[in-house]
Amino acid sequence: MTFRTPGLVRRATPYAAIAAVLAVALATGTSSLLVFPLFAIVVLSVALFDDRTQLFAVGAASALGILVITVTQLGPTSNLATAVFEVAVLGVVGSSVQEVVRHAREAEGSAEKKVGELESIDHRLRLTLEAATIGLGVAMADGRWVEVNQRLAAMLGRSREDLMQAGLLDVMTDADRGAVGDALVKLGRREIVRWESEVQQSARDGRRIPVALAIAAISDQGSSEPLLLVQEADISARKRLDAMRDTVVAIREVIVTANGWDKAAPALLASLCAHLDWDAAQYWSVEGDRHALKLRNSWHKESSNVDGLDDPARNLSIESGGGLVGRVWQSGVAAAMDDLAANDYEQASAERRAGLRAAAAFPVVSAGATIGVVELLGRETRHTENDLLSVLSTTGVEIGQFIQRAETEQALRRSEADHRAIYERSPIGIARVSSEGELLEGNPALLHMLEHDMDAMRSQTWPDLLRAYDQAASRARLAPLLAGITDQRSVQVRAATGGGSWLWLQLTTTSIPDATGRPEHILVMVEDVTTVRETQDRLAEALDSQRSANATLEKLDRTKTEFLSIVSHEFRTARTGIQGFSELIRDGGLEPDEVRAYGGYIFNDADRVNRLIGDMLDLDRMESGRMSIRLTDVDINEVVSDVMTRAASSSAVVVEFKGDLDPRLPIVAGDRDRLVQVLSNLVNNAVKYSPDGGTVTLSTRAEGAFALMSVTDTGLGIPPDEIGHVFERFRRVRSGAAQSIPGTGLGLTIVKQIVEMHGGKIWVESAVGHGSAFHFTIPLAEEHATPLQRRHA
**What is the three-state SS of 624-650?**
HCCCCCCCEEECHHHHHHHHHHHHHHH
Residue 633 CB burial class (10 angstroms; 0-12, 13-18, ≥19): middle
Top-confidence residue, 350 or 723: 723
In terms of Cα–Cα distance, which of 618, 793, 632 is closest to 704?
793
Amino acid identity for residue 211 in this structure:
V
pLDDT bracket for residue 778 (50, 70, 90): very high
Lowest mean pLDDT among 47-56, 232-241, 332-341: 47-56
What does the pLDDT average to over 70-78? 61
Q: Which residues contact 189 (CB under 8 A, 6 or more apart)?
A: none
Q: Are residues 585 and 520 in the same domain?
A: no
The predicted structure's pLDDT at residue 112: 75
Domain boundary residue among 528, 561, 579?
528
What does the pLDDT average to over 50-58? 70
The predicted structure's pLDDT at residue 104: 72
Distances (CA, A) of 50 to 54, 90, 104, 106, 144: 9, 17, 11, 11, 47
Top-confidence residue, 643 or 491: 643
Percent of the chain surpassing pLDDT 70 = 77
458: enclosing H helix or E strand: none
Top-confidence residue, 408 or 221: 408
CA distance 521 to 420: 16
The predicted structure's pLDDT at residue 574: 65
Residue at 127 is within a domain: no
The predicted structure's pLDDT at residue 699: 96
> Can you name the residues that pair with 442 across neighbouring β-strands?
431
What does the pLDDT average to over 654-679? 91
Lowest mean pLDDT among 1-5, 357-361, 431-435: 1-5
Q: Are residues 634 and 614 in the same domain?
A: no
Q: Are residues 213 and 301 in the same domain?
A: no
Q: Give, rounded to a whole angstrom, the gap between the first and last alpha carbons of the chain.
A: 138
pLDDT bracket for residue 793 (50, 70, 90): very low
pLDDT digits (tens, 9 = 90+) for 160-170: 888 888 889 99
Kind of pairing between the strands at 439-442 and 429-433: antiparallel
Lowest mean pLDDT among 355-364, 411-420, 621-630, 668-677: 621-630
**Helix-strand-coil split of the chain, %, nearest 5:** 55, 20, 25
Residue at 241 is within a domain: no
Q: Are residues 176 and 292 in the same domain?
A: no
CA distance 123 to 105: 27
Top-confidence residue, 592 or 335: 335
Looking at the predicted structure, is the pLDDT value of residue 709 above 90? yes
What does the pLDDT average to over 571-590? 74
The predicted structure's pLDDT at residue 759: 93
pLDDT bracket for residue 306 (50, 70, 90): low
DSSP label at 331?
Answer: H
Lowest mean pLDDT among 520-529, 533-542, 603-612, 737-746: 737-746
CB atoms within 10 A of CB 780: 26
Residue at 535 is within a domain: no
Domain boundary residue among 623, 642, 665?
623
pLDDT digits (tens, 9 = 90+) for 121-152: 666 666 666 667 788 888 888 889 988 888 88
Residue at 419 is within a domain: no
User: Could you tell me the CATH number of the domain that includes residue 449?
Assistant: 3.30.450.20
Residue at 472 is within a domain: yes
pLDDT bracket for residue 117 (50, 70, 90): low
CA distance 397 to 331: 14
Q: Are residues 51 and 175 in the same domain?
A: no
User: Could you tell me the CATH number of the domain that includes residue 359?
Assistant: 3.30.450.40
pLDDT bracket for residue 486 (50, 70, 90): low
CA distance 155 to 447: 77
Looking at the predicted structure, is the pLDDT value of residue 634 above 90? yes
- Crossing angle, helix 672-688 and helix 636-650, to 10 degrees? 40
User: Could you tell me the CATH number of the domain that includes residue 786?
Assistant: 3.30.565.10
Domain boundary residue among 234, 257, 277?
234
Top-confidence residue, 77 or 18: 18
Residue at 126 is within a domain: no
The predicted structure's pLDDT at residue 792: 42
CA distance 452 to 551: 47
Looking at the predicted structure, is the pLDDT value of residue 791 above 60? no
> In 651-792, which residue ranges form alpha helices assigned H by DSSP?
672-688, 720-723, 747-757, 787-791
Looking at the predicted structure, is the pLDDT value of residue 620 above 70? no
CA distance 649 to 331: 119
Percent of the chain surpassing pLDDT 90 = 15
User: Could you tell me the CATH number of the domain that includes residue 608?
Assistant: 1.10.287.130
Q: Are residues 649 and 757 in the same domain?
A: yes
The predicted structure's pLDDT at residue 660: 93
> In 451-529, which residue ranges form alpha helices assigned H by DSSP?
454-456, 462-473, 475-482
The predicted structure's pLDDT at residue 667: 94
Q: Are residues 325 and 463 in the same domain?
A: no
What does the pLDDT average to over 326-353? 80
Query: Containing domain of residue 408, as a range?
Result: 246-377+386-413
> In 258-385, which residue ranges form alpha helices assigned H by DSSP?
261-276, 310-314, 323-331, 346-353
In terms of Cα–Cα distance, which of 64, 73, 59 is closest to 27?
73
The predicted structure's pLDDT at residue 214: 93
Q: Are residues 690 and 710 in the same domain?
A: yes
Q: Are residues 252 and 394 in the same domain?
A: yes
pLDDT bracket for residue 473 (50, 70, 90): low
The predicted structure's pLDDT at residue 495: 81
Q: Are residues 286 and 401 in the same domain?
A: yes
What does the pLDDT average to over 377-405? 85
The predicted structure's pLDDT at residue 3: 45
pLDDT bracket for residue 2 (50, 70, 90): very low
Query: What pTM, to 2 d.p., does this model score?
Result: 0.42
The predicted structure's pLDDT at residue 213: 93
CA distance 365 to 373: 9
The predicted structure's pLDDT at residue 152: 87
Lowest mean pLDDT among 60-69, 497-506, 605-614, 653-662: 605-614
Residue at 647 is within a domain: yes
Total number of domains constituting the chain: 6
Q: Are residues 321 and 348 in the same domain?
A: yes
Looking at the predicted structure, is the pLDDT value of residue 707 above 90? yes
Across all residues in the chain, what is the average pLDDT?
Answer: 79
What does the pLDDT average to over 490-516? 79
pLDDT digits (tens, 9 = 90+) for 751-768: 898 899 999 999 999 988
Q: Are residues 517 and 663 in the same domain?
A: no
Residues in the chain: 793
Residue at 291 is within a domain: yes
CA distance 450 to 502: 9
